[in-house]
Amino acid sequence: MDNYVELKNLTFRRDGRLIFDDISLQIPKGKITSILGPSGTGKTTLLGLITGQLSPQSGDVLVDGLSVPNLSREALFELRKKLSLLFQSGALFTDMSVFENVAFALREHTNLPEHMIRDLVLLRLENVGLRGAGQLMPSQLSGGMARRVALARSIILDPELIMYDEPFTGQDPVSKGVLVTLIRSLNAELSLTSVLVSHDVEEALSISDQVYVLSHGQVIASGTPQQLRDSDDTELKQFLFGLPDGPVSFHFPAKPLVEEVLV
């Protein structure tokens, strides 16, 4: 099986709004796949469907060959031990130190002795350059450091699939560079399958093997980063090159200005 995740003819509505309209895509094993698209296109929702936190109205989500919407609660939690998600906010446990945050999954899922937990946590913190920050509390970390601690926590159980939700948002250029390097090196060193959801085009394209671009509930483009850059599609160009107006309108739908202001 070459694909770790497959979305098959997936349709998802929330509060009556159509988020995905019969979309299909594949996330190949061992590769970095980016899901790009303007804000509000449902990129984070897609991760919720992959992790089973949301259920589609129709279609299927296969993760490691298992149909996620049809799994029992117990089977779903078992599958999630192989998955990992880096939240946009970091989602660190605020009442635990950095060390305890990273050790959390080890303590919950294994019976390893304390000295071994300590060594594994320190190794993961070393991976993200924060071995010296183990005793800090999340409130003492900068945004970039919190994201790196969350990354260390998400790889502590050696997951097979790691998903990054907007990892570059709100990061300074140095932190962005650090995260790009980490995502690339971790994917190679740990033989992970990575899914990167982002609207930071340059960073995402620089590390991806494959890219999907979503808009209006559809996949509007897919391929390698170079294939996307070479595309003539106007909507894709507007998104990739940040043009203010085009097929995706600058204005939210409304009555004509004259009608609204001068009446």
Partner 1 sequence: MIHHYLINAVRRMGINALGVCAGFGRASWFLVQSLTWGKGFKAPFSRLVFQVYQLGVLSLPIILVSGLFVGMVLALQGYHILVGYGSQEAVGQMVALSILREFGPVVSALLFAGRAGSALTAEIGLMKTTEQLSAMEIMGVDPLKRIMAPRLWGGIICLPLLNLMFCVLGIYGGALVAVDMLGIYEGSYWANMQGAVEFYDDIVKGTIKSLVFALVVTWIAIFHGWNAHPTSQGISTATTATVVQASLAILALDFVLTAVMLGGF
Q: List residues near partner 1 by CB under 8 A.
A: 51, 53, 73, 77-81, 83-85, 87, 89, 91-94, 104-105, 107-109, 157
Q: Give the nearer residue to partner 1 in terms of CB position, either 80 or 237.
A: 80
List the one residue out of 17, 74, 30, 24 whose CA is nearest residue 49.
24
Contact in structure between 37 and 43 (CB atoms under 8 Å) = yes
Residue 86 beta carbon to partner 1: minimum distance, rounded to whole angstroms: 10
Beta-strand pair 210-215/32-36: parallel
Length of the chain in terms of residues written? 263
Distance CA 203, CA 199 (A): 9
Residue 61 beta carbon to partner 1: minimum distance, rounded to whole angstroms: 15
Residue 185 beta carbon to partner 1: minimum distance, rounded to whole angstroms: 22
Residue 238 beta carbon to partner 1: minimum distance, rounded to whole angstroms: 31
Q: Give the nearer residue to partner 1 in terms of CB position, either 41 or 51.
A: 51
The H or E element spanning position 178 is helix 173-189
Contact in structure between 60 and 237 (CB atoms under 8 Å) = no
Q: Give the nearer residue to partner 1 in terms of CB position, either 49 or 85.
A: 85
Residue 129, both tokens: 């350059």
* C-alpha angle 41-47-49 in degrees, rounded to nearest 5: 95
| Residue found under tokens 């959390």 | 104
Q: Give the nearer residue to partner 1 in terms of CB position, either 77 or 241.
A: 77
Residue 110 beta carbon to partner 1: minimum distance, rounded to whole angstroms: 10
Residue 257 beta carbon to partner 1: minimum distance, rounded to whole angstroms: 31
Q: Give the nearer residue to partner 1 in terms of CB position, either 56 or 159.
A: 159
CB atoms within 10 A of CB 198: 22
Residue 105 beta carbon to partner 1: minimum distance, rounded to whole angstroms: 5
Q: Give the nearer residue to partner 1 in terms of CB position, either 101 or 198.
A: 101
E strand intervals along the chain: 3-14, 17-28, 32-36, 58-63, 66-67, 83-86, 161-165, 193-198, 210-215, 218-223
Q: Give the nearer residue to partner 1 in terms of CB position, either 82 or 237.
A: 82
